[in-house]
Amino acid sequence: MTLKSLLYGTEPPSAAFWAVLRKWWESLDANRGARARLRRAKTPDEVFVSPDYQRSLLPLLKTAGIELTPQDAAKFARAVGVLAHVRTLLPEGHFARQLAPADPGQESVRDPRFKKLLATTDPDDLFLMLRRLVAYLGGTAELRSLVTGASDWTDKTRRAWAIQYYVNRSAKK
């Protein structure tokens, strides 16, 4: 089972993947040390080699019958590192839609940040930008879109995020 099929799939392994990830994220409230260690990671590689990722989340996934290749686990670590900064999960929506300003006066502040995000291709830069954007949103994010975007940042993903952002942005008056 590939990470891509887990992120975008509708089959039972995909549902198990999201359930395990949500349960693990919820467990971070009780395990503040793990959250703190993951939040201190400066790069996705630091998340990947952390004991909290290697000995906590990956074994939980394996118990659910989901084993990631080393390449997929490295991509997924980027999302896990960003997810450690999230304090509140939204039940629905899209992370890019959250970034779209409701007030047209805010466009001059948010648009450049979003354009910079869309232009990012380096995984380390993406990691830092998503962490900053989660902080900018007060630690709130929608799980699926954030994890999917952070793990699979491709041209197709950027296009989907642009659609979510610009379609839901208020027009200037």
Q: Which helix (H) or strand (E) holds 140?
A: strand 140-142
pLDDT at residue 101, rounded to an integer: 77
Please report which confidence band the pLDDT of residue 172 belongs to, taking 50, 70 and 90 as the band edges. Answer: low
Domains of the chain, CATH where assigned: 3-167 (1.10.520.40)
Average pLDDT over residues 55-72: 96
Reported as a single tens digit per residue, the pLDDT across 161-171 is 999 998 866 66
**pTM higher than 0.85:** yes
Average pLDDT over residues 75-89: 97
Q: Which helix (H) or strand (E) holds 154?
A: none
Reported as a single tens digit per residue, the pLDDT across 25-62 is 999 999 999 999 999 999 999 999 999 999 999 999 99
Tell me the Cα Rg of the chain.
16
Reported as a single tens digit per residue, the pLDDT across 99-150 is 887 766 555 557 888 999 999 999 999 999 999 999 999 999 999 999 999 9
Q: At which residue do the structure tokens 């509708």 appear?
A: 10
